[in-house]
Amino acid sequence: MPLRLIFMGTPDFSVPTLQALAAAGHDIAAVYAQPPRPAGRRGLELTKSPVHQTAEALGLPVRTPTSLKGEDEQAAFRALEADAAVVVAYGLLLPKPILEGTRLGCFNGHASLLPRWRGAAPLQRAIMAGDRETGMMVMKMDEGLDTGPVAMTARVAIGADMTGGALHDIMKETGATLMADAMRALGDGALSLTPQPDDGATYAKKILKEETRVDWSQPAETVHNHIRGLSPFPGAWCEMPLGGKAERVKLLRSRLVAGSGAAGTALDDALTIACGQGAVRLVELQRAGGKPMLAEDFLRGAQLPRGTRLA
């Protein structure tokens, strides 16, 4: 049975879920998204979020409040008289009056196997930790941080060389299908909820700029997971001696290889770099202001012979 829904999301990750719910015939009463942000080289143009643009293309009303804490916003939310709200990477905290502002509650599409990786950056943290599996979960939201009971789960394998970007693209489609299934079950009165266990809870804190720099003293597997987990955004990086000066270069893909030497030292002329234990070969890189390049293309314009030290 179709539901009257409020959709709350902002980035590209949220778009397939909005599209799936609309295609399933649910009545989308309103779409909430983060307000337009400055974009462009000079930051002078206000750009609507991917969800905002998608909602307009679907002919759906869009609301972009900067906060949901005010009584007027909360009253406007309740006035929509929705059966439920669906939340996918919205970006604003939902106060209790919003959580209780629909008939059946707010349901979040979360990108981890809860209670592991509650919080802001579950995709990146799972890869950086070397996890071999993650998943999408539909959870009924409560006032805690991703602590509500779970309704549905879809597990996703994490390949040994999978990047954050590749996992993102798999998970957004997986999440869309899962949420559509969950809302169909909710409309039919057949959605069951299972409380989360407390054991095994971990927190996926926001990625900070100061942790994106590669630490070559770490074991090769840790360096490899760091690089792929942060690729393509915000991007792991190091400094390379290029053109007589140190230049910051993003490292987008790598692979584990045999090798040993002083941490951060090039072991050959093909971007094999020694780590604290073992080595990685850099596969894809990006110079400041440039496009991503495969290692062989990068080396056509950059000399990094054996013995070069990276920082």
- Give the residue numbers of the binding site: 112-115
Q: Dmax over Cα atoms in the chain, in whole Å?
A: 67
DSSP 151-169: EEEEEEE--TT--HHHHHH
* 92 membership: H or E segment, kind and range: none
Read off the tokens for 230.
């942060």
Reading phi first (left if > 0) and then psi (alpha if -120 to 50, else beta), residue 140 is in beta
| Residues of each annotated binding site for (6S)-5,6,7,8-tetrahydrofolate | 112-115
Tokens of 277: 């234990």
Q: Which residue has the tokens 């005010």?
A: 70
- Give the β-pairing of 106-110 and 133-140: antiparallel
Contact 177, 154 (CB under 8 A): yes
Q: How far apart are CA 288 and CA 87, in angstroms?
A: 35
What tokens were used for 89?
A: 């990477």
CB 149 within 8 Å of CB 196: yes
Q: To 10 degrees, what angle do helices 50-57 and 15-23 make? A: 20
E strands within the chain?
A: 4-9, 27-32, 37-39, 45-47, 62-63, 84-88, 106-110, 118-119, 133-140, 150-157, 203-204, 236-242, 245-257, 272-274, 279-287, 293-294
Query: Which residues, at least 6 apart from 154, have a Cβ–Cβ distance to it below 8 Å?
Result: 135, 136, 137, 174, 175, 177, 178
